[in-house]
Structure 1
Amino acid sequence: MKFFIDNWILILAAFVSGGLLVWPMVARGGRGGSISVAQAVHLINREKGVVVDVSDPAEYAAGHVAGSRNVPFGSLENSKELPSNKSLPIVLVCPTGARASRAAATLRKLGYEKAVPLTGGVASWREANLPIEKSAA
């Protein structure tokens, strides 16, 4: 007991640091948040992940992740472009990553539990010098 009384500050620091490590997972409800470019490449190459770009068609034509499917955010719920296999990982992208985060939440409600947004969107993909395609609008 004397140990706890003499070292209460150290014990408190240990509990606080442990709580700070666990907090991000608790705050997201146990689901993964956005993923890095490296994690996205891993999902695509190792787990047959599908890249879905939720940008408007004009934004998609200006530059998108090579091999991605364009499903504008407004038409997500009715799209035939989404994989029929809901257990496949879906990496969602948009120019900055903001719309992709909302799209991930929408797809999770539709049963796509492995839908995750790419942190930084197409901009972070481009910064990592990964392939970008352009197409006619």
Structure 2
Amino acid sequence: MQRIIEFVLNHYVYVLALAVVIYLLVQELLDAAFNKSSAISPLLAVAKMNDDSVTIIDVREPDMFIKGHIEGAISKPLSALASQLTSLDKYKKTTILTVCQNGTRSASAGKLLTKSGFENILVITGGMDAWQEDYKLPIKTISKYKG
């Protein structure tokens, strides 16, 4: 026991770094365990769209949505999503695909939707960047935002 105390006192920076790493790992494990949304690649998303009735929620800002989005997507910017959840209540039991530009905002939207009682949330990994650039999947452009 004396040697452990001596090690901690002599190498407090390493011990502190180890404590931080353990904390982050535990936090990530708990987040993964309680997060009911899961990731899906753009190709699997297309297969899901073809097989099931899905709702696509695009959480990018309107200017990005106008430039190109997935056919049939609903625009609900992440900045306004929390205040517009009641308009999405009819989709609580359906499969929802969330998408943003690169996958980070859609993950946050997935967590918000899950906490709000939505049952089957799938986050498209890589977002629209992967949809267009990596997989060359079709997009739809519009001239005017209807929000």
What's the TM-score once normalised by structure 2's chain length?
Answer: 0.68
User: Is the Cα–Cα contact under 8 Å of residues 38 and 121 in structure 2 kept in the other structure?
Assistant: no
- Cα displacement string for residues 63-120 of structure 1 (whole angstroms, at most 9, x for unaligned residues): 1112211011122123265250311111000111110000000000111121121000
Q: Which has the larger radius of gyration?
A: 2
Distance in 2 between the 1:32 and 1:55 partners?
A: 18
Paired amino acid for 1:131 = P
Q: Separation in 1 of the partners of 2:95 and 2:140?
A: 22
Measured in 1, the distance between the counterparts of 2:89 and 2:74 equals 10
1:33 aligns with one of 35, 38, 58: 38
For 1:118 and 1:83, how far apart are their aligned partners in 2?
A: 21
Aligned to 1:136: 143
Q: Which amino acid aligns with 1:100?
A: S
Is 1:76 aligned to 2:81, yes or no?
yes
Aligned with residue 130 of structure 2, among 124, 128, 135 = 124
1:5-84 counterparts in 2 under 5 A?
A: 28-29=32-33, 31-79=36-84, 81-82=87-88, 84=90
Tell me the distance in 1 between the aligned counterparts of 2:73 and 2:87: 11
Instruction: Work out the CA distance in 2 between the residues paired with 1:40 and 1:26.
Output: 26
* Aligned residues between the structures: 114
Q: Which has the higher helix share?
A: 2
Aligned to 1:103: 109
| TM-score normalised over the length of structure 1 | 0.73
Report sequence identity in percent.
28
* C-alpha distance in 1 between matches for 2:91 and 2:99: 19
Q: How far is 1:35 from its partner?
A: 0.8
Judging changes above 3 Å, is the alpha-carbon distance between structure 1 residues 47 and 26 closer, same or farther for their aligned structure 2 residues? farther
Give, as a single letter, the amino acid of the residue that structure 2 aligns with 1:97: G
